[in-house]
Structure 1
Amino acid sequence: MLTPKFAHVKQSFHVELKKRINEYFTTTGKSTTGGIRLFSKALFLILAITYTYIQLVFFTPGVLASVGLCILMGLLVASIGFNVMHDGGHGSFSRSTAVNKVAAVTAEILGASHFMWNMKHNVIHHAFTNIDGIDDDIDAKPFLRMTSTQKYYKMHRFQHVYFIVLYAIFHLYWVLFSDYKKYFSGKIGEMPIKKMKPVDHLTFWGFKLVHYALFFVIPIVVLGFSTWIIGFSIVSLITGFTLSIVFQLAHTVEHTEFPMPDEGGRLQDEWAVHQLKTTANFATRSKLVSWYVGGLNFQVEHHLFPKISHIHYPAINKIVKQACAEYNVVYVEYPRMSSAVISHVNFLRQMGKA
């Protein structure tokens, strides 16, 4: 597939939207980065997962307490990904490039290559959201059919049921297989990754070793294999399902679109309108959901302004909605997380029909 080209329009909605958002930050005098609120959240999450890890590995409480701590650790791994790694990877955690890099590297310690994530997420997904054949986030072939342009198999009739299992093993697949597939093939889907520098290779393999030492070798030596495999499985399944469902609710629901370029590689809309048609918000009034998922329930605002920290999404949400209303641009939002989950299941059911 040719690299798609977005439409160019005389009265750009994107230009007007950026103007209004810039005016907001100029008027309020606020920085676009996370500030003390994000630093304190990151510190809390890192201390929480460190405490949980030490308790599980070196003190090992009773069975029920250990299961509870494993579930908590899985939720913490996902939340650090949402809040710390994600903002750091987008350069919105801090004004300091070095601090952003440190925040992004938390992904490496927890098992995922930041280099590969940056290519997959920042370079491909954010540019070409929901475009089949390019956006790797909607490529779960042959197990899931995420758009009508993908090949249909009879097993897809039940994908709205078995997706739970696939989402749960996502973290394990990512840690043990996906990164290596990208590394050795030099591609994400059909898109080539940029050439890795020596430091990128060292970082990739060095942090893989750190991750395996922390989450495989040390626990097995201290606890024994059987205890470790049970605990690790719980952590990984919780992490995988949580990461998967949050990201899927943002793009694969009933009201989002999956535009395809014409034969010349041209798309119908300008980039910002494309993002609004392919992205959905959910539970934006829930402070608990917003805190836990790092503002990724404000996915529309994130896709339009990925360099702005999620701390500011509730404020700029009002500006984006107003602009959409004035320009008659679609804005997809589900009032509750439960309604977004139902819509995602309904979407999978629809895609499971021949």
Structure 2
Amino acid sequence: MKKDEWHIVRFASRGNNSFIESAKAAVQDYFSPNNISVYANREMWIKTIVMLSLYFVPYTLMVVGLGAGNVWLYLGLWLLTGLGVTGIGASIMHDANHGSFSPKKGINDMIGHILEIIGGYAPTWKIQHNVLHHTYTNVTGLDEDIDSIKFLRFSPNQPRHWYHRYQHMYAWGFYMLMTLFWMTAKDYLQVLRYKSHGLLSKQKVTLKQAMFRISLFKVIYYGYILVLPLIFSGMPWYWVLAGFFLMHFTAGLLLACIFQPAHVMSSSGYATPDADRKMKDSWAVHEMENTTNYAPRSRVLSWCIGGLNYQIEHHLFSGICHVHYRKLAPIVKQQAAAFNIPYQVQPTFIRALWEHARMLKKLGRK
């Protein structure tokens, strides 16, 4: 198999009058007659301003010395920046890098590159998330959201070791390290791996360009996020580092808690391709069997986490801005029922986290 074909898995044909075609038609019937754009509306633009402010305002106040002499206020500002990282990641750059923020590619690209400002790198994110995760959800060896470090077993198709028996207790600690690892080493490791598999060129970037840009963005990121507070905040270096780690621990844990209950659940199918690399179901049915919504009645939670409690709608219609998912959910649920396809929902966020923890425990056992 050629290096640029390593990841190809063929899903079953969706057939005529399929679930996804019917769902697309029903969703279109919501937007077109009501003259509603599938892209960002005023609510989305307001949220963008709020989430950016949640990150940059506390940071600015901290750098100019607002928290100097008051450790709790100072750490509180860092905590708010962690919430800002979460909001930017889940609510702003996520839509933009899916192309669902605006019908104009230039606007999507500009907003999507906010990821570089908070320490990441958009091309590698797009490969991991848009290409691999959204296409091969929960397929071991292809979906890097479940192919994590060896201490975490997210699929029954992965090797099990003795320490996985305790992963439902220690996984949360690794979740806290997620963004810190991402902003430090993950992008470098990914770009080398994606180059070897022929995926990097699809983002129209060479390895040399990617390595240079990643390095440049990391220098800028660590320059403003650590060096400026060390110089101007008026706080000792150890409190600056404590705040920096607090920000990342907060963002890492929250982002993991947002995404993990959507897929690593006991209700997930975890289907694998056969010897000919073919799946038994169509792509849309596979997504339905490996995705779970949660807390559909909580409009506050949905607003805060970029509508990602509606993961089913997001996976089926990632080109639609998340502010519309709440209205699309009943439509998709009705279509799923008509085709006798599971539509998996946990009633609350807490319940979803509990079920995710139970799944971690289950995966740690024989």
- TM-score normalized by the length of structure 1: 0.95
Q: Which residue of 1 aligns with 2:305?
A: 293
- 1:210 counterpart = 2:215: no
Tell me which of 283, 286, 292 is aligned to 1:274: 286
- 1:109 counterpart = 2:117: yes
Secondary structure (helix, strand or coil) at the match of 1:59 reads coil
- 1:142 counterpart = 2:138: no
Change (3 A) 1:191 1:159: farther
Change (3 A) 1:225 1:184: farther
Deviation, 1:191, is 4.8
Asked if the contact 2:153–2:159 (Cα under 8 Å) also holds between the matched residues in 1, the reply is yes
Change (3 A) 1:119 1:244: same
Q: Which residue of 1 aligns with 2:23?
A: 17
Tell me the alpha carbon deviations over residues 25-77 of structure 1, each in whole angstroms, 9 at most, x when there is no partner: 11111000012211111012212322100112222421122222222211111
Asked if the contact 1:35–1:94 (Cα under 8 Å) also holds between the matched residues in 2, the reply is no
Worse-matched range after superposition: 112-121 or 141-150: 141-150
Change (3 A) 1:203 1:252: same
Secondary structure (helix, strand or coil) at the match of 1:161 reads helix
Q: Distance between the aligned counterparts of 2:214 and 2:44, measured in 1?
A: 26
Q: Which residue of 1 aligns with 2:137?
A: 129
Secondary structure (helix, strand or coil) at the match of 1:28 reads coil
- Name the aligned partner's letter for residue 27 of structure 1: P
Worse-matched range after superposition: 48-57 or 151-160: 48-57
Task: Number of aligned residue pairs: give it.
Answer: 352
Secondary structure (helix, strand or coil) at the match of 1:11 reads coil
Q: Which residue of 2 aligns with 1:156?
A: 164
Runs of 5+ unmatched residues, structure 2: 1-5
Q: Distance between the aligned counterparts of 2:150 and 2:213, measured in 1?
A: 32
Tell me the alpha carbon deviations over residues 110-142 of structure 1, each in whole angstroms, 9 at most, x when there is no partner: 011111000000011101100001000001231
Asked if the contact 1:2–1:265 (Cα under 8 Å) also holds between the matched residues in 2, the reply is no
- 1:345 counterpart = 2:341: no
Q: Which residue of 1 aligns with 2:3?
A: none
Aligned CA RMSD, in angstroms, stands at 1.6
Q: Distance between the aligned counterparts of 2:59 and 2:357, measured in 1?
A: 34
Q: Distance between the aligned counterparts of 2:192 and 2:338, measured in 1?
A: 48
- Map residues 1-354 of structure 1 onto 2, 5 A cutoff: 3-8=8-13, 9-61=15-67, 62-186=70-194, 191-195=197-201, 196-197=205-206, 203-222=213-232, 223-354=235-366
Tell me the alpha carbon deviations over residues 118-173 of structure 1, each in whole angstroms, 9 at most, x when there is no partner: 00000111011000010000012311111111111100000000001100011111
Change (3 A) 1:163 1:191: farther
Deviation, 1:192, is 4.1
Tell me the alpha carbon deviations over residues 313-343 of structure 1, each in whole angstroms, 9 at most, x when there is no partner: 0111111011011110001100100110010
Tell me the alpha carbon deviations over residues 199-251 of structure 1, each in whole angstroms, 9 at most, x when there is no partner: 65554333222211111221222344212111101001001111111110110
Q: Distance between the aligned counterparts of 1:78 and 1:348, measured in 2?
A: 23
Secondary structure (helix, strand or coil) at the match of 1:281 reads strand
- Name the aligned partner's letter for residue 4 of structure 1: V
Asked if the contact 2:54–2:80 (Cα under 8 Å) also holds between the matched residues in 1, the reply is no
Asked if the contact 1:14–1:271 (Cα under 8 Å) also holds between the matched residues in 2, the reply is no
Asked if the contact 2:188–2:211 (Cα under 8 Å) also holds between the matched residues in 1, the reply is no
Tell me the alpha carbon deviations over residues 167-196 of structure 1, each in whole angstroms, 9 at most, x when there is no partner: 001111111111111123435xx8542222
Q: Distance between the aligned counterparts of 2:154 and 2:198, measured in 1?
A: 22
Deviation, 1:2, is 6.0
- Name the aligned partner's letter for residue 80 of structure 2: L
- Name the aligned partner's letter for residue 100 of structure 2: S
Between the aligned residues of both structures, percent identity stands at 32
Worse-matched range after superposition: 151-160 or 5-14: 5-14
Q: Distance between the aligned counterparts of 1:268 and 1:292, measured in 2?
A: 36
Q: Distance between the aligned counterparts of 1:26 and 1:267, measured in 2?
A: 34
Runs of 5+ unmatched residues, structure 1: none
